Amino acid sequence: LTWQRLKESVYLTARTTAMVCWLFVGSATFASVFAYLGGQQLISDFVTGLDMSPLMFLIVAQIIIFILGWPLEWTEIIVIFVPIFLPLLAHFEIDPLFFGVLVAVNLQTAFLSPPMAMSAYYLKGISPPHVQLSDIFRGMMPYMLIVILCMVIIYIFPQIVYGLPNLIYGG
């Protein structure tokens, strides 16, 4: 490790961190303006006017988040879209903890799935030249299927989500 390499590492780390922070600032600004202009209320009124069961709402919300997870980073989704869904949870009598765990697992699935699969492109950036993107996608598929299976298990056995909080806080 040389001083030049340390200086370059610090610079690249600061640059990447600044980009992530600006993404967060932009997302928060958009979400605030969207809420201020009544967009959140408009969507809430529209969704509550639909004849949806809680399970149907969960599935639709997760599909939307999954599709948004392809082109967007998780920070934008958490800051922009989750606040839109949060007021609807009370209407559908869905526990925010349960919804949050589903969103976290769902974002991981979107992060791994083609066509975007940001993690595949990150991995390709540090891979040797002979490793093709198709090889990376093929290697990621079993893990993605495991994550999808975890999501299905969470839907079937929601008490899994509450195991650790109940152990820590009693319940």
Predicted local distance difference test score (pLDDT) of residue 161: 92
- C-alpha dihedral, 133 to 136 to 142 to 148, nearest 10°: -60
pLDDT for 63 equals 92
Q: Can you spell out the DSSP letters for the chain?
A: --HHHHHHHHHHHHHHHHHHHHHHHHHHHHHHHHHHTTHHHHHHHHHHHS---HHHHHHHHHHHHHHHTTTS-HHHIIIIIHHHHHHHHHHTT--HHHHHHHHHHHHHHHHHSTTT-HHHHHHHHHS-TT--HHHHHHHHHHHHHHHHHHHHHHHH-THHHHHHHHHHH--
- Residue 118 pLDDT: 74
pLDDT along the chain (171 residues), means of 10: 91 88 85 89 91 93 89 81 89 94 90 76 84 88 90 92 89 69
Per-residue pLDDT, 7:
94
pLDDT (0 to 100) of residue 98: 95
The per-residue pLDDT for 10 is 93
Both tokens of 111, joined, read: 């992060």
pLDDT score at 156: 93
Residues 69 and 77: beta-carbon distance below 8 Å: yes
Domain map (residue ranges) of the chain? 41-169
> Tokens 């066509």 appear where?
115
